[in-house]
Amino acid sequence: MKIQEADAKSLLVAQGLPVPGWEVAHTPAQARAAAERILAAGAEAVVIKAQVLVGGRGKAGGVKLAASTDEAERVAGAILGMDIKGITVRKVLVAPAADIAREFYMSAVLDRAARRILLMGSAEGGVEIEQVAADHPEAIIRRHADPLLGLLDYQAREFAFEMGLGAHIKAAVAIAKGLVRTMLAYDADLVEINPLAIVRETDATGAAVERLVCLDAKVTLDDSGLPRHPELEALRDPDEEDPADREAREAGLTFIKLDGTIGCMVNGAGLAMTTMDLVKRAGGEPANFLDIGGGARADKVAAAMRIILADPKVAAILVNIFGGITRGDEVARGLIEARAQQTRDVPMVVRIVGTNATEAATLLEQARFKTAATLDDAAAKAVAAARGAVA
Amino acid sequence: MSILIGPGTRLVVQGITGREGDFHSRAMQAYGTRIVAGVTPGKGGATALDGTVPVFDTVAEAIRQTGADTSCIFVPAGGAPDAVMEAAAAGIATIFCITEGIPALDMIPAVEVVARAGARLIGPNCPGATSPGSAKVGIIPGSIHRPGRVGVVSRSGTLTYEAVQAMTDAGVGQSTCIGIGGDPIIGTTFLDILELFAADDGTDAIVLIGEIGGAAEEAAAAWAAEHLADIPKVAFIAGRTAPEGKRMGHAGAIISGGAGTAASKVTALEAAGFRVAGSPTELPALLRDAGYRG
């Protein structure tokens, strides 16, 4: 699950990491009030950042500075409602503009191949880190946390010195360890700070000081970890979840909407992707990825059908079930029930093999469903049916 | 012959008295797998599977009493990593973890403990393995198999069934079929399984079924190019049409930034001498094209 920058920053603060204060505003007036407080506290300007779950906010014009309350209100008004990669901006983060001396990159991520937590850092922060990794792989510093003991102090020190953070070694070690601690505390698979920055500040006596702080934060959570962190459910952003996605998630289905005309209902992720590939190979375009999971019952099948049919572009439906844990007759019953409730007449091609396939075949035949024996045949029939429906 | 499991396998099922454990243990037993013990903490002394299998409180006790050497885990996600470590510490050589939904970070220490014990973990979130005609461990339907000499390794569940069924329908039998699991952190990789097949005198050809995300297929391809040059190899990669940056259900199946794409995997496999099928149903014909005569 992706979470917004402001929520990611809250998690970092809860783990003791240095993050300058911020406020979240949903309207230009709220942004103005936030800016007023921040400017009154001594900041020379505020930064206003679109809160959306897609990358490239800066390039899209979703991150801007404002030096006065009037400007803050105007800038927030421009950013709120802006479309960034198909997402409408509904809230902004308002924070004091930092006086940045130098930017770095630091992240903790799940390294699948090494089966360890990987700490990555670069002295080239604030930019496209993937580009740095591609062009100058040697510019990325890497350390694996110990699989049993976690990130050890000496590892964090080596890492921080290599990143060129010797002048801020204590803070850098604390942040490196904090990233790994944040991962473990919330079952995150990514905790990324870009930029991690040395900023110039004025201390209580008025003297100029430099401090290492997290200016941005990106955290993604492992969905499998969510059941043991129920409080994190509150960080799911309803503004950015499509109603179909929500219904699918609540029904225990994995659903991803695509642009084609052939709705797909399959059990198992690998088989669902294969079904999409074969639809495409047969000359069609899949309307979705939908995995009903293992052991799905009739009600789940009916929910899946509702979600597929809610997409007006769907002109045919392909059901492909290889029963293992899933019983074919259960799926057939669900399909019959779903068709009875169906408000729109969309041709359907059904292929059910494996556990209880014979019983399923009898049920489908009685209900006069169009069936197919092989996956290739099913894909071809669904593509033909969609063409017929469209023509 | 076969790899990982066979007629000599002595299986202990961890979580045998649960709903899933009971259901699939019956299917394994019906297939001919020798289930020598079950483990459910607190139910030691009871029996499972209609009185045919003794239940123990711990894996260590099950091994002492029955000589179990292989474990199959149906314990829920919260306790599964601990069950894996218990099995490894007790001396189980081959551990299959069927459980899905385990938080990835929980598997990091579990995988390390297994490695230090010198054991092998398959999964988690995997369908298990079948050595047709002798044993099946996990949840793969026994009916789809036919004994033979092709080794099958896959990251997926139902897609594996699809591919194996297509092979069986075409008269192409299997030595062992293994699903290694779709989670981000798994115990055994494609490459590990290819090493085992390479050393197995009962396996004459390889079918590899991968999907988008990660670089495990590429790593396996590089190894196969060097060590499996002389045997027929075919592959299928799911997710050619998946859009970038979308998670397709399997935690493993995510494409980002060009790495782990279907194209990169197909290219790597073809360069290593694999014939790559456009559909699982083409696998048996491609095996014949590659010179397989079994």
Inspect the interface and report whether the beta carbons of B156 and A269 lie closer than 8 Å.
Answer: yes
Give the tens place of pLDDT for each residue, B141-161: 999 999 999 999 999 999 999
Nearest CA in chain A to B248: A269
In Å, how far is A115's CA from the nearest CA of chain B? 6
Token pair of A40 as six digits: 């009154």
Asked if the Cβ–Cβ distance from B249 to A322 is below 8 Å, we say no
What was the pLDDT predicted at A136? 80
Residue B218, pLDDT above cutoff 80: yes
Closest CA to B283 of A329, A376, A90, A21: A376
Facing B248 at nearest CB: one of A224, A269, A353 = A269
Residues found in chain A: 391
- Tell me what pLDDT residue B246 has: 57
Contacts of A256 in chain B (CB under 8 A): 243, 246-248
Interchain proximity B158–A280, CB inside 8 Å: no
Q: Is A125 helix (H, G, I), strand (E, B) or coil?
A: coil
Confidence of residue B247 (pLDDT cuts 50, 70, 90): low
Q: Do A184 and B105 touch (CB under 8 A)?
A: yes
Residue type at A260 in one-letter notation: G
Structure-token match 């199946």, residue found: B253
Q: In terms of pLDDT, which residue wins out, B162 or A299?
A: B162
Indicate whether B264 pLDDT > 70: yes
Interface test with A, best of B158, B217, B237, B281 (most A CBs within 10 A): B158
Q: Which residues of A are catalytic?
A: 105, 192
Q: How far is B112 from chain A (nearest CA, A)?
A: 7
pLDDT digits (tens, 9 = 90+) for B83-122: 999 999 999 999 999 999 999 999 999 999 999 999 999 9
* A284-288: average pLDDT: 96
| Contact by Cβ (8 Å): B74, B15 | yes
Q: Does the beta-carbon distance from A228 to B240 stay under 8 Å?
A: no
Structure tokens at B6: 């066979």
Residue A356 reports pLDDT greater than 90: no
Average pLDDT over chain A, rounded to whole? Answer: 92
Res. B250: pLDDT tops 60? no
Q: Which residues of B touch A286 (CB under 8 A)?
A: 241
Looking at chain B, which residue has its C-alpha nearest residue A253?
B249
Q: What angle do CA B130, B289, B165 make, to 5 degrees?
A: 30
The verdict on a CB contact (< 8 Å) between B238 and A353 is no
- With CB atoms and an 8 Å threshold, state whether A115 touches B141: no
Distances (CA, A) of A376 to A12, A283, A320, B286: 50, 12, 11, 16
Distance CA(A267)–CA(A184), nearest Å, equals 32
Nearest-CB residue to B161 (from A189, A324, A374): A324
Cα dihedral B35, B39, B42, B48, rounded to 10, equals -20
Cβ pair A262, A284 in contact under 8 A? yes
pLDDT at B253 over 70: no
Is it the case that residue B292 has pLDDT exceeding 90? yes
Which residue type is seen at B79? G
Q: CA of A149: which chain B residue's CA is closest?
A: B109
Task: Give the residue numbers of B marked as catalytic.
Answer: 250
List Cβ neighbours of B254 (8 Å cut-off, separation of 6 or more).
B212, B213, B245, B246, B247, B248, B260
Please report the DSSP string for B116-181 in residue order: HTT-EEE-SS--EEEETTTEEEES--GGG--EEEEEEEES-SHHHHHHHHHHHHTT--EEEEEE--
> Which residues of chain B lie closer than 8 angstroms to A375, CB-CB?
162, 279-281
- B259 confidence band (pLDDT: 50, 70, 90): low
Asked whether residue B276 carries a pLDDT value surpassing 60, the answer given is: yes
pLDDT score of B258 more than 80: no
A2-53: pLDDT as tens digits = 999 999 999 999 999 999 999 999 999 999 999 999 999 989 999 999 999 9
pLDDT of residue B251: 41
Lowest-pLDDT range, B7-11, B19-23, B126-130?
B19-23
Cα separation, A327 vs A290, in Å, equals 18
Average pLDDT estimate for B184-194? 96
Q: With pLDDT > 90 as the criterion, what percentage of chain A qualifies?
A: 75
A181 has pLDDT over 80:
yes
How far apart are alpha carbons A145 and A116 in whole angstroms?
Answer: 6
Encoding tokens for residue A274? 């294969």
Tell me which chain A residues have a C-beta less than 8 angstroms from the C-beta of B124: none
pLDDT at position B102 is: 96
The shortest CB-CB distance from A324 to any of B100, B140, B209 is to: B140
Nearest residue of chain A to residue B126 (CA atoms): A268
Query: Cβ–Cβ of A270/B103 closer than 8 Å?
Result: no
pLDDT at B254: 44
How many residues can be counted in chain B? 294
Comparing A135 with A13, the larger pLDDT belongs to A13
Predicted model pTM:
0.93
Over 50: is that where the pLDDT of B237 sits? yes
Mutate to test the interface with A, among B140, B152, B241 (most CBs of A within 10 A): B241
Query: Is residue A178 over pLDDT 60?
Result: yes
How far is the CA of B287 from the CAs of A94, B196, B207, B275, in angstroms? 61, 20, 8, 8
Q: Which of A130, A268, A286 sits opposite B157 (nearest CB)?
A: A268
Alpha carbon of A278: minimum distance to chain B alpha carbons (Å): 7
Mean pLDDT, rounded, for B25-52 = 97
Q: Report CB contact under 8 Å: A254, B249.
A: yes
Contacts of B102 in chain A (CB under 8 A): 224
- Report the pLDDT value the prediction gives residue B215, as an integer from 0 to 100: 86
- A222 vs chain B: nearest CA distance in angstroms? 7
Q: Which of A46, A77, A45, A84 lies closest to A62 in space, CA to CA? A: A84
- Nearest neighbour of B253 by CB, restricted to A227, A269, A322: A269
pLDDT at residue number B255: 40
- φ, ψ (nearest 5 deg) of residue A346: -120, 130
Indicate the range of A103-112, A214-223, A264-273, A292-301 predicted with least confidence: A292-301
pLDDT of residue B248 exceeding 70, the answer is no
Q: Using CA atoms, how far apart are residues A23 and A37, in angstroms rounded to an integer? A: 10
The chain A residue lying nearest B141, using CA atoms, is A324
Identify the residue among B85, B98, B100, B108 best suited for mutation to test binding to A, counting A beta carbons within 10 A and taking the highest. B108
More confident residue, B253 or A226: A226
pLDDT at A127: 63
B236: nearest CA partner in chain A: A274
Can you tell me the distance from the alpha carbon of B168 to that of B162, in angstroms, rounded to the nearest whole number? 10
Most confident of A230-244, B183-197, B254-268: B183-197
Residue contact A291–B249, C-beta within 8 A: yes
Prediction ipTM score:
0.91
